[in-house]
Amino acid sequence: MDPTQDVDAVARSIRDMSIRGAGMIARSASSAISAYAGSWQGTNEREFLDELQRIARMLYSTRPTAVSLRNGILMTLRGVESEKDVPSMRERIARQSKEFTESAEMAREGIAEIGSKRIPKGSAVLTHCNSMAALNTIKKAFEDGRVEMVFSTESRPWRQGHVTARWLLDNGIPVTMIVDSAVRHFMRDIDIVVVGADTISANGAVINKIGTSQIALAAHESRVPFIVCAETFKFSRETLLGSLVEIEDRGPVEVADPMKPSDFKGARILNPVFDATPPEYIDAIVTEIGIVSPYMATEVIREMFEMEGPVTLEKRRSRINWL
């Protein structure tokens, strides 16, 4: 069996959103790399590293905005080039992938435990899109008697809110689904907003499903607390180094087909997947290491990525530029 088939299948599933959610995307990519490495036939270290770099870049290209995908890939491949031979490289990848996926699962549990305490008793909670970090937090709060109703947006155009509403119902949590444009109308009924994140930048801005920033603005205007639930691997080291977060546009066909006369032929249709919520609209970011102010994002990034000491010029030259 061609070892790239599983990787290709995962990449297609991420691209067409069969695999969704930043954490799930990262775990799936990490597991695909590990499976590929384990089945690779060959003994040449250089060829193996070249193949790993190729599949890493292919997986990353599926969702370039999701820093969790980037970090999951990098954490899986970290230091592989320093191993002496292919078997050692394979063993390291398997170990690091297992560590990443297990820590990611534990992170969600930690976030739920910490974040649920921020939800007042008897709350009506608003959530947007389909974040398992946010949903597990809401579920834990519901079990603790803190949540009476969850308002879930449809989250157009893909309507991930439908998935959220079904998940809430399956877990016995009362849910009211609303269209995205009704958020301001219902904000008077909301006690707290709980959302997830795809990326958290060094300046504390949160990149999440399109419409999140408008919800945050409405919550800010109405004095409704707005909290973000996110694993630390969603913090972006690249933004600390000056890179901007790329906002993915998924093309017009999810909205309408501009080539059909009945669907606005000739119209320009834009479909950005994410937007940026500024830190001044965010009351807290809930991570597995605790509650973080958005203005402390830089410190989280430094702690995550600089534990091995300063990156010298020699170290930088010896590293593979995986992505």
* CB atoms closer than 10 angstroms to residue 241: 10
Q: By percentage, how much of the chain surpasses pLDDT 70?
A: 93
The pLDDT tens digits for 248-287 are 898 888 888 777 777 677 788 899 999 999 999 999 999 9
316: in domain: no
Question: Which residues face 290 on adjacent strands?
Answer: 287
The stretch 40-51 carries a mean pLDDT of 93
300: in domain: yes
Specify the long-range contacts of residues 313-322, CB closer than 8 Å, at least 24 apart.
318/81, 318/82, 319/81, 320/49, 320/53, 320/77, 320/80, 320/81, 322/52, 322/53, 322/56, 322/57, 322/73, 322/74, 322/77
Pair (161, 14) in one structural domain:
no
Confidence of residue 164 (pLDDT cuts 50, 70, 90): very high
Q: What's the pTM value of the predicted model, to 2 decimals?
A: 0.86
The pLDDT tens digits for 57-86 are 999 999 887 788 999 999 999 999 999 999
Pair (125, 30) in one structural domain:
no
Pair (134, 257) in one structural domain:
yes
Q: Please list the active-site residues.
A: 129, 198
pLDDT for position 312: 44
Pair (104, 208) in one structural domain:
no
237: in domain: yes
Contact 307, 40 (CB under 8 A): no
pLDDT for position 220: 98
CATH number at residue 191: 3.40.50.10470
18: in domain: yes
Average confidence score pLDDT of the chain: 91
Counting the structural domains of the chain, the total is 2
Which residue range forms the structural domain that includes residue 196?
117-305
